Amino acid sequence: MAGEWHCEKRTLSKNESFPRENENMIETGCLSIIVLGASGDLAKKKTFPALFNLYRQGFLQSNEVHIFGYARTNISDEELRDRIRGYLPGGKERTEDVSNFLQLIKYVSGSYDAPEGFQALDKAISGHELSKNSMDGTSRRLFYLALPPSVYPPVCKMIKNYAMNKYDLGGWTRIVVEKPFGKDLASAEQLSSQIGELFEEPQIYRIDHYLGKELVQNLLVLRFANRFFLPLWNRDNIANVQIVFREDFGTEGRGGYFDQYGIIRDIIQNHLLQVLCLVAMEKPVSMKPEHIRDEKVKVLQSVVPIKDDEVVLGQYEGYKDDPTVPDNSNTPTFASVILHIHNERWEGVPFILKAGKALISRKAEIRVQFKDVPGDIFKCQKQGRNEFVIRLQPSEAIYMKLTSELDLSYNQRYQGVVIPEAYERLILDTIKGDQQHFVRRDELKAAWEIFTPLLHRIDDGEIKSLPYKPRSRGPAEADVLLEKAGYVQTHGYIWIPPTL
């Protein structure tokens, strides 16, 4: 049902609180969504299910949209549909919605660097456009690259040469690219230049799915629309900020990929750093995407070089049992890194970014710890400090550790409300042409500038990953680092996820 999200997000929705000038609207007319790498893991687990949910809710209309899968694997339309079906909600029961959605999908097989496949793809898309009586130039083509980044350059070249929206009279061609976008500053810049020669920045959507998560989307509203926070959000009041990602499973079948990248490139340089930007940035001039991204870049450019003694790396025991991981791998599966922002608001406040696989639990959260109360007459140190916690997942919640409790648990407060998947929102934003929640080229560059020197030292074996037990908190040294950064363990109120 179209519009469902808007009613659900009444309290905190950025869209309703801040109607943007020239708000991007979904245009009507023929829309072709092309998933390149359709045979892969991301496509079946995330991309197609997100498209299905958009379809179910009426954001994709069957009289306008057609979906194309493209990859080298030689399979039929029906075989692709069978692969996807099990990952769609209700897919196993074969509901009418599922069948109708799957009928919108057509598969084209071809290589990523030769014209023939893309010419065939273009022919299939044009056939769809003609069948919808689309006028020249009014068709919209969205290419989603669910592919390893190594093939982005040839694929972009093929799209540009053989599969663009034909006329410049309206309509558009947009491409969505996945992370990891490069391995360090030089490779990311090279990739950006290669793609930048073919597409304009407004056509490129660098996806970071953490920017599509409900509470990440609400961060700016929370910070800038609540007077309560405005005077407190600075070095005078905040002692430290933690941004934490934990998974309770290991690399499981992705060891070969993961070992090339490690946890800093997989999670910290992108997902956690993007969250840091939204926590630390100044108020943008407006909610226009470029104004927001301008402020994010400024924060990134104010981060000072990382010191080795403010880094703890870990690797869980058993990681190297994966046959695709070399026996001598030093790749971190855990990292805790302290960042310092050199500006008026944040000087002296450590931002601790921590991420790990195979840990004791699965969660992602932002934890803002306030300083001790000056002139405390209650001698209440044992109560601990105030903490403001934004739980991104699971069980989205915002809560405050006070001397009593203040708790906004989403599934209690917004009962029955379905929070859309991050990928759904972001694909919809791409169709609307809204780049606010995508990473701009200069943002990406600034993010790599922060981590590249550290990553090179790790790659050269200068910083070792410490072993830790699976299902633990990670290396004990990370807790020592946290204490050194001034974090004080808070006792008293313990937040318990609600059970309904």
Ligand X SMILES: O=C1O[C@H](COP(=O)(O)O)[C@@H](O)[C@H](O)[C@H]1O
Nearest approach, Cβ of 105 to ligand X (angstroms)?
24
Distance CA(173)–CA(187), nearest Å, equals 25
Q: For residues 233 and 349, is the Cβ–Cβ distance under 8 A?
A: no
- Residues numbered 81 to 140 that lie near ligand NDP (CB under 6 A) are 112
Nearest approach, Cβ of 31 to ligand NDP (angstroms)?
22
Distance CA(371)–CA(231), nearest Å, equals 14
Host H or E run for residue 354: strand 351-356
Residue for token pair 């190297």: 320
The nearer residue to ligand X, 129 or 247, going by C-beta atoms, is 247
Question: 31-36 and 140-145: which strand pairing?
Answer: parallel
Nearest approach, Cβ of 207 to ligand NDP (angstroms)?
8
Whether 271 is a known active-site residue: answer yes
- Does residue 332 touch ligand NDP according to CB under 6 A? no
Nearest approach, Cβ of 209 to ligand X (angstroms)?
6
The nearer residue to ligand NDP, 29 or 40, going by C-beta atoms, is 40
Residues at the contact surface with ligand X, assessed by CB under 6 A: 209, 247, 266, 364
Q: For residues 386 and 405, is the Cβ–Cβ distance under 8 A?
A: no
The one of ligand NDP, ligand X, none whose footprint includes residue 82, by CB under 5 to 8 A per kind, is none
Q: For residues 429 and 246, is the Cβ–Cβ distance under 8 A?
A: no
Q: How big is the site for ligand NDP, counted in residues (CB under 6 A)?
A: 19
The one of ligand NDP, ligand X, none whose footprint includes residue 212, by CB under 5 to 8 A per kind, is none
Instruction: Classify 416 as helix, strand or coil.
Output: coil
- Does residue 251 touch ligand NDP according to CB under 6 A? no
Q: For residues 243 and 354, is the Cβ–Cβ distance under 8 A?
A: yes
Catalytically annotated residue among 271, 291, 437, 456: 271
Angle, vertex CA 283, rays to CA 267 and CA 298, nearest 5? 55
Host H or E run for residue 161: helix 152-162
Query: What is the distance in angstroms between the CA of the first residue and the CA of the last residue of the chain?
Result: 25
The one of ligand NDP, ligand X, none whose footprint includes residue 182, by CB under 5 to 8 A per kind, is none
The one of ligand X, ligand NDP, none whose footprint includes residue 42, by CB under 5 to 8 A per kind, is ligand NDP
- Does residue 146 touch ligand NDP according to CB under 6 A? yes
Residues ≥6 apart with Cβ < 8 Å to 489: 384
The nearer residue to ligand NDP, 55 or 423, going by C-beta atoms, is 423
The residue ranges that bind ligand NDP (CB under 6 A) are: 37, 39-43, 71-73, 112, 146-151, 178-180
- Give catalytic residue positions: 271
